[in-house]
Amino acid sequence: MALYKGMAGSPITNLVTDVTSTQTSVTVANGGALPDAPNICTICGDGAQIETILYTSKSGDILSGITRGIEGTAKAWPAGTEVARYFTAYDQNAINSALDGLRTDITGGFTKRVDLMGQVQATDYRRSVIALCEVTNTNLNFSSYSIGTISFHRFNGLSGSDQAIVAFEKRYDSTLCNYNTVYIGHENVPRACTFVYNGTKYGGLEVYIDSACFRNVAFNGESNFDIFGVDYYNTDADEATIPEIADSINFDEPIPTGNLYFNGVQIATHP
């Protein structure tokens, strides 16, 4: 749906002559009260009677190239009926449509921001996993990957924020994942892992930064996978809250790839 400019204050003008239900050109008393074409305006009769029209040309006080009844019903209107560029349901629907398209670009495409707050580190004393790829191997060429940053912030700012730069992908013809990570933060470094949840195997990070939760957690980057997180272990009670994950988590399966360079100088190699 097309978006059309509004008119500050929605000034009111009037029909100069009677208008039939099929007429595609009308004259108003003050064309300056309406935006330049193409645009829409609303004819307002007595009570709740309205008709919103689309005009593709405006010359002085004459609107032409009109599509009748884009809201309401096309009908005959007497001279003197009010006409104005009001904010309409059409406008709201056009805005919603544009936002839906934007949301698709952000969340349905490859570029993503995923808010994990409430999924991981939802309360204190929790070990968490963040799934960054699926490693099911029903299709040996199956592509599942995430590349970006994960930020961790404790809400009161008491102990500093952490950040992990991550790249995870399903490894060709296997139920393993390739990965590389760079971590800036506390000494409890997130670890690459694989795990099974609800019968599906994933690759990602296991996170335990401190006994106090770092509840503001978000991924920003590129991914073709529906990233999610889960708290799976209560360290205070020393018991699994999701036994399936606790029993299946594996820190040896993920395969490190790539070396670390700074300004073109190699400063670390993968194990």
| 167 in the same domain as 234 | yes
- Which of 31, 63, 92 is the last residue before a domain boundary? 92
Domain-located, residue 144:
yes
Domain-located, residue 5:
no
**Tens-digit pLDDT profile for residues 157-192:** 666 788 999 999 999 999 999 999 999 887 788 999
Beta strand spans in 34-95 (E): 39-44, 50-55, 57-59, 62-64, 67-72, 82-84
Write out the residue range of the structural domain in which residue 199 sits.
111-268
Helices (H), the chain: 89-103, 243-248
Give the Å distances, CA to CA, from 198 to 195, 228, 242, 247: 10, 13, 10, 13
- Which of 92, 121, 156 is the last residue before a domain boundary? 92
| 235 in the same domain as 133 | yes
Give the per-residue pLDDT at 201: 97
| 35 in the same domain as 127 | no
| 136 in the same domain as 256 | yes
- Which of 46, 63, 92 is the last residue before a domain boundary? 92
Report whether pLDDT(108) > 70. no
| 190 in the same domain as 223 | yes
| 142 in the same domain as 49 | no
- Please tell me the distance from the alpha carbon of residue 194 to that of residue 204, in angstroms, as a whole number: 6
Domain-located, residue 101:
no
Whether 150 and 205 have beta carbons less than 8 Å apart is answered as yes
| 231 in the same domain as 145 | yes
Domain-located, residue 181:
yes
**Tens-digit pLDDT profile for residues 15-53:** 999 999 999 999 999 999 999 999 999 999 987 799 999
Domain-located, residue 43:
yes
| 179 in the same domain as 116 | yes
Domain-located, residue 4:
no
Domain-located, residue 99:
no
Average pLDDT, the chain: 90
| 34 in the same domain as 134 | no
Band of residue 199 on the pLDDT scale cut at 50, 70, 90: very high
Total domain count, the chain: 2
| 141 in the same domain as 244 | yes
